Chains A and B, each alone.
Chain A
Amino acid sequence: MEQALVIAAHGSHLNAESSTPTFSHADTIRATSAFGEVRESFWKEEPHFREALRTVDAEDVYLVPLFVSEGYFTEQVIPREFRLKEWDPELWDSDGTSADTATLTAEDTGQTVHYCGPVGTHDSMSDVIVQRAKSVTDDPDVGDGFGLAVVGHGTERNENSAKAIEYHADRIAERDRFDEVQALFMDEDPEVDDVTDFFESEDVVVVPLFIADGYHTQEDIPEDMGLCEDYRDGWAVPETVDDKRVWYAGAVGTEPLMADVVLERAAEAGADVSAAIEQVRGDAGETSAAGD
């Protein structure tokens, strides 16, 4: 039976670029021909979550949220808007970073939907963060002499938001690739404003765990870190702040390897995509196996 992939992303009423990474990762996956259909869907744009499934012909759909953390959107909004009957967050049995998959039926279309955890809490996301550091420094061996800051929104609305950041920071720290790894936040301590205080290293790569570039990653965080007085002035990469070189990567979600995380999610839900995973990892310059 043909399998289809639907990617669920936030989108924006105001920012035209919010959907760009979603389109880009969907195109990467389309090019692998792993799915008969690949469909983007959005909370704030069209096709809307409510109407995405009816545009997909396949009876068997893998639904992957392009969201950073588990919580309000993945546990309430997406299942409700996709009309996934009998959804219960307990089906993921997650501690906040360990969502896997649940198989449900869409009320309006009758399709079988394999509802996957978000990309942000998948183990292979750690690889994407490292890949982002390689991309921004243009150094495939980056690590020695470098600190890495993984930046998240914080706990203002959702405690799992911080969990996802800390989870990946811990995982990357265990690899001993970077001299130092630190989780930082916009809305709580340790705050990204004081980024240079948290590192001994002269070079610090800063990777925000956001899906798309927008207000937070292109205005707020650069100004808060002191990369610039006004975001409109731009900043250098690296930019010198307090005698340290800060390599600001922008949203991790724009990294091409993100398409791999979407595929990993679908694979764990039972999709036959192993060849596509090989292809995407190869094309994105990453060869290690998923989640190490």
Chain B
Amino acid sequence: MNADPVDALVATAPDGIAFDDLHVERNGETYAYETPAESLTGLEEPELRDVAAASPYVSNWYFWHATAPQTDARWAFLRWLEGADDPVPQRYDALAEGIATEWGQLRVTVSLTEAGGRSYALRHVDDAATAGADLTDHDEPLDARELAKHDNDGAYRPLKTAPSLQTGWQFPALGPAELVEAVHAFYPATVQNWHREREGDLDVTHWHETVERQTGIYGVVRTWDRGEGYEHVNWVAEACCDDSQCLKRREWGYDEETDLDVDNRASETPGDSGGETARGGDGEFPRREPCSPFIAAARQWTKLEGEQSQAYEFELTPSEKEQVEAIIGAVAEGRSADIREADVYDGANRYRTRFLRAKLFDDDGNLCGVETED
């Protein structure tokens, strides 16, 4: 397409243009130009050029047809980011201020460029109010691959959609195709799966089908279905798929006919059986099948759950029992590192835990001296 929006409009007019309330046609030697604001007919080409040069409808048409990536998912995502269902004047007013949207832990702000195009600023949602000067600038979308690798503490993030994205960076001005590439590097395939879902075309693969597919060292997971229903899958999903652990919204269930009973929304109390309100989370983009870390964890649970339970006898004070529960709770919620050193009122405090170990463990690390029996 021509490099100039007006040239492009004139060149395309013979085919007819109808986009975002802009209508342009050529009738013989003259042109018709119509927007909600004005309806002009019988325009000579120079007149059309004058009208078009000043029209946000034309720069908008040009951006969406000549600048933005044209493939369905990318185009739809970029349209969604700026609320493209809104009329052009209203949208342009908002774009002048910048339209911000959250995508997982990403915050995308779309604004207009002088030429009527779009510029996309990308940063962590927690950095929404941080001064740009305090963030590290990036302009290469693939830098996102490295930013996505480690959390703020430097720990490796094997699951890209874990809510542990590091802060402190920004991409101040990406083009439309670059923005989608950066989003892909942070959250691979989320744009495509979100688009498929909007089109009613999301290919969900449920638990049963997923484990049936496994071979090699993961083949053992297939055996974790011993006519015992799907309670075990609920447990795995509660452990792994909660909004506090993964930002994707779980759309897979036990099988085609059977949803899980677990509610993965962060707003629900952990352990609640969701029943009719059960949902796979509040995330904007879907999880269409159990992921790779999930299957690896399920493999370990398949082995562990093959064991028979036994009765052990321990003597604990009521506070010690509650302390054990507090420690499990703190580890499960990833909160143990946040417990203050001197906060001995929290059962999962390090000194409290070391005291419990000193009192209750024997030299071999057995709780209350009770040996583990195989």
Give chain A's interface residues, CB within 8 Å of chain B.
Answer: 12-16, 19, 23, 27, 43-48, 50-52, 54-55, 57, 72, 76-77, 80, 108
Contacts and interface: CB of A to CB of B under 8 A. Distances in A.
Interface stretch (B26-34, B187-195, B228-236, B307-315): B187-195
19 contacts: A13-B158, A14-B156, A14-B158, A16-B150, A44-B158, A44-B292, A45-B158, A45-B160, A45-B292, A46-B189, A47-B189, A48-B292, A51-B188, A54-B189, A54-B193, A54-B196, A55-B188, A55-B189, A72-B216
A55 B196 CA distance: 12
A55 B192 contact: yes
Given A46-B189, A48-B291, A12 B145 contact: no
B40 to A, nearest CB: 38
B56 interface: no
A13 B188 contact: no
A54 B71 CA distance: 11
A12 B158 contact: yes
B272 to A, nearest CB: 29
A220 B120 CA distance: 46
Given A44-B292, A72-B216, A76-B215, A55 B158 contact: no
Give chain B's interface residue range (CB within 8 Å of chain A).
Answer: 20 to 34
A50 B294 CA distance: 14
Nearest to A73: B216
B181 to A, nearest CB: 10
Interface of B: 71, 142, 145, 149-150, 156, 158-161, 184, 188-189, 192-193, 196, 203, 213, 215-216, 289, 291-293, 296
A51 B188 CA distance: 8
A46 B293 CA distance: 10
Given A23-B142, A54-B192, A57-B71, 17 more contacts: A13-B158, A13-B292, A13-B296, A16-B150, A16-B156, A27-B142, A43-B292, A44-B158, A44-B292, A44-B293, A46-B159, A46-B189, A46-B291, A47-B184, A47-B189, A51-B189, A80-B213
B203 A47 contact: no
Contacts of B142: 23, 27
B215 A47 contact: no
A104 B29 CA distance: 51
A267 to B, nearest CB: 24
A108 B156 contact: no
Contacts of B158: 12-14, 44-45
A108 B291 contact: no
Nearest to A41: B188
B188 A108 contact: no
Contacts of B189: 46-48, 51-52, 54-55
Q: Which 8 A-B pairs have the closest CB atoms?
A: A47-B188, A51-B189, A16-B156, A46-B188, A13-B158, A54-B192, A46-B160, A57-B71
B70 to A, nearest CB: 9
A43 B216 CA distance: 13
B145 A23 contact: yes
A56 to B, nearest CB: 10
Contacts of A55: 184, 188-189, 192
Q: Which one of B142, B156, B291, B292 has the greatest number of beta carbons of chain A within 10 Å?
A: B292
B289 A50 contact: yes
Contacts of B149: 16, 19
Nearest to B289: A50
A113 B333 CA distance: 43
A5 to B, nearest CB: 15
* Residue among A27, A54, A72 with max Cβ neighbours from chain B (10 Å): A54
A15 B71 CA distance: 34
A57 B203 CA distance: 18
A45 to B, nearest CB: 6
- The interface centre, meaning the residue of A14, A43, A55 with most chain B CB atoms within 10 A of its CB, is A55
A127 to B, nearest CB: 27
A45 B160 CA distance: 8
Given A27-B142, A51-B192, A77-B216, A15 B291 contact: no
B25 to A, nearest CB: 31
